[in-house]
A and B are shown apart, each in its own frame.
Chain A
């Protein structure tokens, strides 16, 4: 079977086996994604950023922590491609290493937040009644706190650092996803196909996990990709307040925060990490929008 992993085999209208159908479906999804130029731009940029961050030690021209006070705030040049910051550190190398911190934080937050919000929302929406009321009031409590203040309190209680920042952001970021998942669940929970699932004798957990949660995922993905930029900014704010990534660890948000007073005289110092955040956020948005279209077979 693996020998015949051809285009014709993948696009066969009448697949002979379950695995052929599954691979065919994946291939069609890929073709769909590929036909969407914006999504492809997003995918390429995201993959490029991740690869660049992973390969930072190979690509960096300088040590991101080494200071050179005689050469501070230098213009972009052959030696320092993006110039140097207020302590004479090479911005290009710091952007590369900073990608590890910033993208790592964003990805960690998403990995923590998405399943939590999805689980809370789907369970609340499907169970209804008391369970719904309790879970939603808990969600409201978290929504009621200003995001940054709660994160600050949380980080202050733990020790400042990237891990605490991730936990704090995750703790404050899940309620909107729970709300969204609950709303989606409410629209399908009384539908006939869910009734039909119940009539197979499936337990509630199976219905939520295998039949309802997958329907909530596309809108959740779009919402998360739209939130990526705000997660980056929250991480940066925490860093700026000394509660996030600790200096000298390079983090895009913290780099802007410390360099913003140079924006008029040495514009490249805050602009370059800003561009990095902007491009990453935009790429995530494009990719998320494209993924939504691909993930929903009814839109084809």
Chain B
């Protein structure tokens, strides 16, 4: 479903992503972990079309895509951002936010689709005519997920979708994402710095360090500690320490 070969992204003289390749089958789920500045979000932004200054090859559904994407691409690929406070227009109601993709793509049945998608992300109908600032963080992230889903994409790019949320809310959102993937047969790429989050949702995990993908490992091997690269072991040790404070 998603093929990336030798993706390179530079900001000025600084090469941030140095030849990353990955392959996600349809219905699959791939996690990218790494420290801040390792280039993981940059990979995602290049994939989504937000950043056009990359070289290499990106193919979705067997079709190579260029730096500029057409509407059909955005029907297929959607993204959920890290910060639910910043990713929703502050002066638009939830109804307006959700109807926008439908209007852009000229889809019918706007009323029914909004009701369906709200139910799907377990939001009460009462939030429909509220503004984002009247909702909690978890509710906002549900709205952001609903917006990504409403045009019925096949691929969802998740940029740290839970890191701005409370721990208890994080679990809810992760379970929601897992459910949705099963129900809609979505393909995920999840970026996070939290190994627990990634391995919960993704059977395969890529570890990034300094713009390179240093290891691709299955979630089982990761949990069992069968790591190859020292950086993976480091990250793993760190997250185990954090989860079980001595």
Q: Please give the distance in Å from A214's CB to the nearest CB on chain B.
A: 6
Instruction: Report Cα–Cα, A198/B74, bound state, in Å.
Output: 9
Kindly specify which of B55-63, B86-94, B172-180 makes contact with the partner chain. B86-94
Q: Verify if B147 is at the interface (C-beta below 8 Å from A).
A: yes
Judge whether A200 is part of the interface by a CB distance below 8 angstroms: yes
CB distance A14 to B125 under 8 Å?
yes
Residue B78 CB within 8 A of the other chain? yes
Chain A residues with CB under 8 A of B128 = 15, 21
Q: Is B48 an interface residue (CB 8 A)?
A: yes
Of the residues A14, A202, A206, A215, contact of B91 by C-beta under 8 Å: A215
* With A202-B100, A206-B104 as contacts: A196 and B90 at CB distance below 8 Å: no
A140-176: CB near B (< 8 Å → 1, else 0) gives: 0000000000000000000000000000000000000
A193 contacts B by Cβ under 8 Å: yes
A window 199-217: CB within 8 A of B: 199-202, 206, 210-211, 214-215
Interface residues of A in 1-60 (CB under 8 A from B): 13-15, 18, 21, 24-25
Is A191 part of the contact surface with B, judged by Cβ < 8 Å?
Answer: yes
Most buried by A among B79, B88, B129: B129
CA distance A185 to B87 in the complex (A): 16
Shortest Cβ distance from B89 into A: residue: A193
Complex: chain B residue closest to A210, CB-CB:
B100
Task: Give the chain A neighbours of B87 by CB distance below 8 A.
Answer: 192-193, 195-196
Are A198 and B50 within 8 A (Cβ)?
yes
Q: Any chain B CB within 8 A of the CB of A197?
A: yes
Chain B residues, Cβ within 8 Å of A192: 81-83, 86-87
- Residue in chain A with minimal CB distance to B102: A200
Chain A interface, DSSP helix/strand/loop, else mixed: helix
* Contact, CB under 8 Å: B104 / A202: yes
Which single member of B49, B81, B126 contacts A196 (CB below 8 Å)?
B81
Q: How far is the CA of A195 from the CA of B86 in the complex (A)?
A: 10
Residue in B50, B71, B90, B129 whose beta carbon sits within 8 Å of that of A195 in the complex: B50
Contact with A along B20-55 (1 / 0, CB 8 A): 000000000000000000000000000011100000
Could you say which residues of chain A place their CB within 8 Å of the CB of B151? 200
Q: B79, A196: Cβ atoms under 8 Å? A: yes
Q: Interface residues of B toward A: which range?
A: 35 or more
A-side interface size class:
20 to 34
- Does B231 have its Cβ within 8 Å of any Cβ on chain A? no
Contact yes or no, B50 A21, CB < 8 A: no
Alpha-carbon distance between A147 and B131 when the two chains are bound, in angstroms: 41
Say if the beta carbon of A248 comes within 8 Å of chain B. no
Nearest A residue to B48, CB-CB: A199
Q: Are B74 and A199 in contact (CB under 8 A)?
A: yes
Could you tell me if B129 and A15 are in contact, using CB atoms closer than 8 angstroms? yes
User: A202–B106 Cα gap in the complex (Å)?
Assistant: 11
Which residues on the A side are within 8 Å of B154 (C-beta)? none
Which of chain A's residues has its CB closest to B79's CB? A199
In the complex, chain B residues whose CB is within 8 Å of the CB of A206:
104
Residues from chain B with Cβ under 8 Å of A14 in the complex:
125-126, 129
Q: A89 CB to closest chain B CB, in angstroms?
A: 50
Quote the shortest CB–CB distance from B170 to chain A (angstroms).
19
* A201-243 contact mask (Cβ, 8 Å, vs B): 1 or 0: 1100010001100110000000000000000000000000000
Which of A18, A211, A296, A298 has its CB near the most chain B CB atoms (within 10 A)? A18
Q: Which residues of chain A from 103 to 128 have any CB-CB distance to chain B below 8 Å in the complex?
A: none
Tell me whether B95 and A13 are in contact (CB under 8 A).
Answer: no
Of all chain B residues, which has the CB nearest A15?
Answer: B129
* Cβ-based interface call for B105 (8 A): yes
Q: Provided the pairs A191-B86, A298-B133 are in contact, do residues A199 and B91 lie with their beta carbons within 8 angstroms?
A: no
Chain B residue with the shortest CB-CB distance to A215:
B91
Bits for A80-115, please: 1 = Cβ < 8 Å to B, else 0: 000000000000000000000000000000000000
**With A199-B48, A200-B104, A201-B105 as contacts: A297 and B133 at CB distance below 8 Å:** yes
* Residue pair A297, B131 in contact (C-beta under 8 Å): yes
A residues less than 8 Å from B86 (CB atoms): 191-193
Do B101 and A200 touch across chains, with their CB atoms under 8 A apart? yes
Cβ of B75 under 8 Å from chain A: yes
Q: A159 CA to B226 CA in the complex, in Å? A: 87
* Leading 4 A-B pairs by shortest Cβ distance: A201-B74, A21-B129, A192-B87, A201-B71
Known: A200-B105, A206-B104. 5 other contacts (CB 8 A): A192-B83, A196-B87, A200-B74, A200-B151, A298-B133
